[in-house]
């Protein structure tokens, strides 16, 4: 969703700068599309006039949303937008994974949210 590759942004003709802000707005819009009967959204990057958008996901309130990445912004985004969890790729020392899990839980506690609410799914990369 946010991405790290400038090339991908260039090919898509989307500015690389402010990609985090766009991701924040996109998450908000996506949740509305999946839950509201009539969606209306006016943001800095995305605009949707009052619209009925369907079909809606069967899963309620919406399809689970997991973010990948290891930056503090990833963990803050998961916590601030009450997403379902973190999709972690294990490709290095387990200590790095352990620290990242601790960071995610710390952000949740600072936001006065249950750190156990956020699921962690790991993928082993060889």
**pLDDT tens profile 64-75:** 999 998 899 999
pLDDT band at 37 (very low <50, low <70, confident <90, very high): very high
pLDDT of residue 11: 93
Q: Do 7 and 53 reside in the same domain of the chain?
A: yes
Q: Do 47 and 72 reside in the same domain of the chain?
A: no
Q: Do 35 and 82 reside in the same domain of the chain?
A: no
Using the Cα atoms of residue 35, residue 40, residue 43 and residue 45 in order, give the sign of their dihedral: positive
Last residue of a domain, one of 58, 88, 104: 58
Share of the chain above pLDDT 90, in %: 75
Other beta carbons within 10 angstroms of residue 74's beta carbon come to 24
Write phi, then psi, for 89 (nearest 5 degrees): -105, 125
Q: Do 36 and 86 reside in the same domain of the chain?
A: no
Average pLDDT of the segment spanning 55-78: 92
Q: Do 41 and 82 reside in the same domain of the chain?
A: no
Tally of domains within the chain: 2
Q: Do 34 and 79 reside in the same domain of the chain?
A: no
pLDDT of residue 90: 82
Average pLDDT, the chain: 92
CA distance 109 to 126: 33
Share of the chain above pLDDT 70, in %: 98
Q: Do 37 and 71 reside in the same domain of the chain?
A: no
pLDDT of residue 39: 97
Residue 26 pLDDT > 90: yes
Q: Which domain holds residue 36?
A: 1-58
With residues binned 3-state (H G I as helix, E B as strand, rest as coil), the percentages for the chain, rounded to 5, are: 40, 20, 40
User: pTM of the entire structure?
Assistant: 0.86
């Amino acid at each position: 969703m946010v991405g790290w590759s400038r090339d991908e942004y260039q090919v898509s003709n989307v500015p690389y700068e402010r990609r985090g802000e766009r991701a924040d707005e996109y998450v908000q819009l996506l949740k509305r599309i999946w839950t509201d009967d009539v969606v209306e959204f006016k943001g800095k990057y995305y605009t949707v006039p009052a619209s009925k958008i369907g079909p809606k996901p069967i899963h309620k309130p919406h399809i689970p949303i997991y973010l990948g990445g290891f930056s503090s912004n990833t963990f803050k985004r998961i916590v601030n937008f009450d997403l379902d969890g973190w999709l972690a790729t294990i490709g290095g020392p387990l200590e790095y994974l352990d620290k990242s899990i601790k960071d995610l839980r710390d952000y949740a506690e600072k936001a006065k949210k249950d750190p156990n609410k956020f699921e962690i799914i790991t993928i082993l990369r060889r």
